[in-house]
Structure 1
């Protein structure tokens, strides 16, 4: 049986997750997160990307371990995987939420916060648009991307099993790695 497919882009991960939870869409390609797991069932991850920090070159902060201190304000994309992660993990710094992941560095350069957090590739791209920025070495988290299905959907377990098998086959066959190479995707790797 063939079904029509409609790809619907969203500006933020938060909006995508809301749409799948409300039943407006059938599945999402999104980062796995325990908060989202209350409403979403995930396939195994197909790719991994990294969450990283960027600071102004004048910043005294030199390492990821120095970020979670009183007085540090971290700009994050509202509802993103790294927002959810940092909300759980940050104990002393404050989080300032930008409207989207794409707006993080723009807000940061307009004077919001003293550290920007995001997907490493996005931050590296943004660093080319502005002068006076530097990436902190390493990463503060690994982001596992997967397909998510709403748990409210009838027989979601069977759908998840089917899609999990498809993801496993696509990874094992080399399709995911070849697709990333063909589309020149840098900084991501096929998930284990």
Structure 2
């Protein structure tokens, strides 16, 4: 039995408003309608709604930064979303109470095969330019950690995304999720994904800070979904490859 206070925290308007980020195709894929998304994030939201005994309303976004920005929209929308699926990041944690991660993915670089880069460390030098999606987990991480290279922030322009821009502007690399940037290789054999990674992206569920009872229940829910095999099965159903995170230590 879910505590009534947890239901009130996570679905204060009587429905669970779940933010779905289509910018990360490992976690979410579009379905026939906006209320029929596919992927592990959507499956977790539906399972949580069933536990809480409330309907699920999906709120669509095309980037993680836009999910986060919805919290501070002007005028504010207190019901913009109740739960979200985002990578754990210190900047975000000030506003979002995160669970432990349920999926781990890698952030790495797409480069040209004829470029002299063999490792992610080769990119952090003066004069190197790396394109990233603004406010993505890897943008936030690289902003904190790069010492010399320049980040070029661009919204993905159209279906082919940042790869075309990367080639057109003769940038040195494109940062992103390994599985997603690897999809460009079929149509672009001159490109190469580096074998190592610059970060481990810890994908978690979260709710707004201040909802302590709901946040505690959400953490317990995620641990159960990992342990039961639900997360692994949802990834398999959606045809995605990622690592299920270990139990919270």
After superposing on structure 2, the runs of 4+ consecutive aligned residues of structure 1 that deviate more than 6 Å are none
Count of aligned positions: 188
Shift of 1:131: 3.0
TM-score by length of 2: 0.72
In structure 2, distance between residues paired with 1:30 and 1:112 = 30
Structure 1 stretches lacking a partner, 5+ long: none
Q: Secondary structure at the match of 1:86?
A: helix
Q: In structure 1, what is the equivalent of residue 168 of structure 2?
A: 110
Q: In structure 1, what is the equivalent of residue 119 of structure 2?
A: 63
In structure 1, distance between residues paired with 2:104 and 2:72 = 23
Q: In structure 2, what is the equivalent of residue 15 of structure 1?
A: 66
In structure 2, distance between residues paired with 1:163 and 1:128 = 39
Corresponding residue to 1:47 among 81, 99, 103: 103
Shift of 1:105: 1.6
In structure 1, distance between residues paired with 2:72 and 2:207 = 9
Corresponding residue to 1:34 among 90, 102, 107: 90
The change in CA–CA distance for 1:158 and 1:100 in structure 2 (over 3 A counts) is farther
TM-score by length of 1: 0.92
Structure 2 stretches lacking a partner, 5+ long: 1-51
Q: CA RMSD in A?
A: 1.6
| Contact kept in structure 2, 1:170 and 1:176, CA below 8 Å | yes
2:220 maps to 1:158: no
| Contact kept in structure 2, 1:53 and 1:115, CA below 8 Å | yes
Q: In structure 2, what is the equivalent of residue 5 of structure 1?
A: 56
Corresponding residue to 2:132 among 58, 68, 76: 76
The change in CA–CA distance for 1:49 and 1:72 in structure 2 (over 3 A counts) is same
Q: In structure 2, what is the equivalent of residue 97 of structure 1?
A: 153
Q: Which has the higher relative contact order, 1 or 2, with Cα contacts under 8 A spaced 6 or more apart?
A: 1
Q: In structure 1, what is the equivalent of residue 207 of structure 2?
A: 149
In structure 1, distance between residues paired with 2:206 and 2:163 = 28
In structure 1, distance between residues paired with 2:154 and 2:90 = 22
Note the alpha carbon deviations across 1:123-153, whole angstroms, 9 max, x for none. 10022232310111111111011111111xx
In structure 2, distance between residues paired with 1:190 and 1:169 = 12
Q: Secondary structure at the match of 2:107?
A: strand
Corresponding residue to 2:196 among 120, 123, 138: 138
